[in-house]
C-alpha cells in the first residue's frame, strides 16, 4: 500500500483515524507554541517586565497579518483533501502547485507589510513609549522571515490534506529545539536583547520550512511539489480563494478586534500589558487540543465529502465535538486552580501576576463554549460552507467586542470589562453555531437522503 493510500481517512475506524491524526497535530502545535513561549520566558526572566511587554504587545499585530494570509493555507488544504478523497491525481497536482504559487506571492506581501507598516500600527494601538522601540524591533525582524512562516503552513497544509500529520510533528520538534538553543545563545550569551529573541524564531521557522519542503520534493505521490510545475490553475485558484478568503477574513477580523482590545489593555499600563501577555502565552497551550481536533476534523470531513461518504463525515463531526468539549472543559478547571503559578513562570512582579490571574480565572470556566465554536467552524468548512463561520466570527468575535469597548468601555474604564468580553462573545457564537449546524446538516440530509 502506498503512503498516500495509508493516510486516506475515507476508510477504517473513523475514531482511530481522527485520533491518530489529531495526536501528532496536537504535539506539533505544542512545539510550535514553544516558539513564542520560550521567547517570553527568556525575555521576561532575563530582560525584565518591560522587555516582556515589548514582545507580548506585538502578539495581536503578528496574529493579524499571519491570520489573514494563512487563511489561504486553510483553503488550499480543504481543496487538496477533497481531490485526494476523490482520488483525482490530476486535480490534486494542479491544486498543490497553485497553492504553492499563492503562498510565494503572499510571502513577499507579508514581508513588506510587516516591515513598513508595523511601526504605524503599533503607535495606532497606543503602545506605550517605553515599550514601543522594542516592539518595533521584534516585529520587523519577525516579518523579515515571513517566507518561513507562510510557506511552512502551505507545505504542512498539503501534507495534512493527504492525511499525514506525523511528519509536520517531526519538523516542529526539530525547529523548536533550534529555537530554544538559539534563544538562549542570542539573549543570554550574546546579549542581543529583543532582537535576538526575534532572530531565533525566524531561523527556527526557516529550519521547519526546509524540512517540510524536502519531504514534498521527494515523496512519490500526486501531491509532490515540483517548482517547474508552478502555475495558477484557474479552477483550483478560484476554489482555493472561495475557501481561503472567508478563512482569511475570519482570521483578520478576529485579530483586528484583538488589536483594539490590546489598545484598551494598553491604557492600563505596562503591568497590565505584561500580565495579559503572559496569560496569552498560557492560553496558546490551552487551545491546542481543540486546534488539533479542528484540523483533523477539517481534513477528515473534506476527504469524506470528496469520496461522497456523507454519513461517515457526520459521525466524525459528532465524535470530534465530544472529545474537544470534554478536553477543553477539563483544562479550564486546571487553569482556574493553577493560574497564579502559571503566570509567575514568566515574571515575578505581583502586579503583573494579578492582571494575568484575573483574566485566566474569568475565562477558564467558559472554555467549553470557545471549544464548541472552533470545532463547529471546522466542521462547516469541511462540509463546504466556509462563509458561515466567517460571518459568525466577524459578528460575534469582532463586531460585538468592538462595539462594547467603544461604548461601555468609554464610560466604564475597568480592566474586568476586557476579561468578561471573551466569555460573553463565546456564548453568543455557541448559540449561533448550534443553529447554523443543524440547519445546514438538515439541508444536506434532505439533499442526499443518507447523511
Q: What is the pLDDT of residue 426?
A: 94
pLDDT at 1 over 70: no
In the chain, what percentage of residues exceed pLDDT 70?
Answer: 91
Degrees to nearest 5, angle at CA 440 with 435 and 445: 125
Residue 11 has pLDDT above 60, yes or no: yes
The tens digit of pLDDT for each residue in 347-383 reads 788 888 899 999 999 999 999 999 999 999 989 988 8
Q: Report angle CA 375, 376, 378 to the nearest 5 degrees.
A: 65
Biggest CA–CA distance in the chain, Å, is: 66
Q: pLDDT value at position 376?
A: 94
Q: What is the mean pLDDT of residues 160-181?
A: 88
Query: Can you tell me the mean pLDDT for 22-39?
Result: 76
Q: What is the pLDDT of residue 393?
A: 84
- The whole-number pLDDT of residue 265 equals 82
Q: What is the dihedral of CA 317, 319, 325, 327, to 10 degrees?
A: -130
Q: Measure the CA dihedral 202/203/208/213, to 10°.
A: 100
pLDDT at 71 over 80: no
Domain ranges of the chain: 11-448
Work out the average pLDDT over 338-351: 86
**Residues 381, 247: contact at Cβ < 8 Å?**
yes
Mean pLDDT, residues 96-111 taken together: 90
List C-alpha distances in Å: 441 to 75, 313, 318, 380: 21, 11, 12, 9
**Stretch 258-283: mean pLDDT:** 81
For residue 162, pLDDT over 50 is answered with yes
Predicted pLDDT of residue 451? 43
Query: According to the model, what pLDDT value does residue 36 have?
Result: 64
pLDDT band at 399 (very low <50, low <70, confident <90, very high): confident
Q: Where are the alpha helices (DSSP H) in 383-414?
A: 387-392, 400-411
Whether residue 86 has pLDDT greater than 70: yes
Burial class of residue 2 in the structure, from the number of CB atoms within 10 Å of its CB (0-12 exposed, 13-18 middle, 19+ buried): exposed
- Tell me the per-residue pLDDT of 207-250, one tens digit each, with 9 for 90 and over: 999 999 999 999 989 999 999 999 888 999 898 888 888 877 77
- pLDDT, greater one: 31 or 167: 167
Q: How much is the average pLDDT of 420-441? A: 92
What value does the mean pLDDT take over residues 137-165?
89
pLDDT, residue 382, reads: 86
How much is the pLDDT for 186?
92
pLDDT of residue 450: 47
Residue 198 has pLDDT above 90, yes or no: no
CA distance 312 to 309: 5
Is 9 in contact with 163 (CB distance < 8 Å)? yes
Q: What is the mean pLDDT of residues 66-94?
A: 85
Q: Is pLDDT of 386 > 90?
A: no
State how far the Cα of 2 lies from the Cα of 163, in Å rounded to an integer.
Answer: 13
pLDDT of residue 436: 92
pLDDT of 449 > 60? The answer is no
pLDDT for residue 110: 83
The mean pLDDT of 44-64, rounded to a whole number, is: 72
Average pLDDT, the chain: 85
Sign of CA dihedral 378, 384, 390, 393: negative
Model confidence at 251, pLDDT cuts 50, 70, 90, reads: low
Amino acid at each position: 500500500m502506498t503512503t498516500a493510500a495509508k493516510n486516506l481517512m475515507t476508510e477504517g475506524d473513523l475514531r482511530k483515524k481522527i485520533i491518530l491524526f489529531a495526536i501528532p497535530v496536537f504535539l506539533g502545535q505544542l512545539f510550535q507554541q514553544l516558539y513564542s513561549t520560550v521567547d517570553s520566558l527568556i525575555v521576561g526572566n532575563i530582560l525584565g517586565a518591560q522587555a516582556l511587554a515589548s514582545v507580548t504587545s506585538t502578539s495581536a499585530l503578528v496574529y493579524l497579518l499571519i491570520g489573514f494570509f494563512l487563511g489561504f493555507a486553510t483553503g488550499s488544504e480543504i481543496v487538496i483533501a477533497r481531490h485526494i478523497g476523490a482520488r483525482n491525481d490530476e486535480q490534486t497536482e494542479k491544486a498543490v502547485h497553485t497553492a504553492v504559487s499563492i503562498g510565494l506571492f503572499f510571502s513577499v506581501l507579508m514581508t513588506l507589510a510587516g516591515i513598513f507598516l508595523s511601526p504605524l500600527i503599533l503607535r495606532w494601538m497606543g503602545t506605550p513609549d517605553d515599550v514601543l522601540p522594542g516592539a518595533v524591533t521584534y516585529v520587523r525582524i519577525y516579518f523579515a522571515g515571513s517566507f518561513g512562516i507562510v510557506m511552512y503552513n502551505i507545505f504542512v497544509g498539503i501534507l495534512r490534506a493527504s492525511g499525514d500529520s506525523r511528519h509536520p510533528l517531526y519538523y516542529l520538534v526539530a525547529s523548536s529545539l533550534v529555537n530554544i538553543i538559539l534563544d538562549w545563545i542570542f539573549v543570554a550569551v550574546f546579549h542581543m536583547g529583543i532582537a535576538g529573541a526575534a532572530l531565533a524564531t525566524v531561523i527556527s521557522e526557516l529550519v521547519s520550512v526546509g524540512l517540510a519542503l524536502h519531504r514534498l520534493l521527494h515523496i512519490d505521490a500526486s501531491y509532490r511539489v515540483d517548482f517547474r510545475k508552478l502555475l495558477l490553475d484557474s479552477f483550483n485558484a478560484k476554489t482555493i480563494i472561495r475557501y481561503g478568503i472567508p478563512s482569511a477574513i475570519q482570521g483578520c477580523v478576529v485579530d483586528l478586534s484583538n488589536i483594539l482590545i490590546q489598545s484598551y489593555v494598553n491604557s492600563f499600563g505596562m503591568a497590565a500589558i505584561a500580565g495579559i501577555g503572559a496569560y496569552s502565552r498560557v492560553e496558546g497551550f490551552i487551545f491546542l487540543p481543540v486546534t488539533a481536533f479542528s484540523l483533523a476534523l477539517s481534513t477528515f470531513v473534506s476527504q469524506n465529502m470528496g469520496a461522497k461518504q456523507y454519513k461517515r463525515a457526520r459521525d466524525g463531526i459528532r465524535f470530534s465535538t465530544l472529545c474537544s468539549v470534554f478536553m477543553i472543559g477539563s483544562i479550564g478547571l486546571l487553569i482556574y486552580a493553577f493560574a497564579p503559578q502559571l503566570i509567575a513562570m514568566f515574571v515575578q512582579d505581583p502586579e503583573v501576576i494579578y492582571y494575568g490571574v484575573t483574566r485566566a480565572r474569568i475565562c477558564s470556566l467558559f472554555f467549553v463554549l470557545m471549544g464548541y465554536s472552533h470545532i463547529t467552524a471546522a466542521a462547516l468548512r469541511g462540509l463546504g460552507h466556509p462563509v458561515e463561520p466567517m460571518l459568525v466570527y466577524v459578528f460575534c468575535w469582532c463586531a460585538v467586542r468592538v462595539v462594547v469597548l467603544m461604548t461601555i468601555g468609554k464610560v466604564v474604564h475597568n480592566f474586568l470589562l476586557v476579561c468578561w468580553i471573551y466569555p460573553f462573545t463565546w456564548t453568543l457564537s455557541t448559540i449561533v453555531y448550534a443553529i447554523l449546524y443543524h440547519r445546514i446538516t438538515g439541508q444536506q440530509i434532505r439533499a442526499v437522503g443518507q447523511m
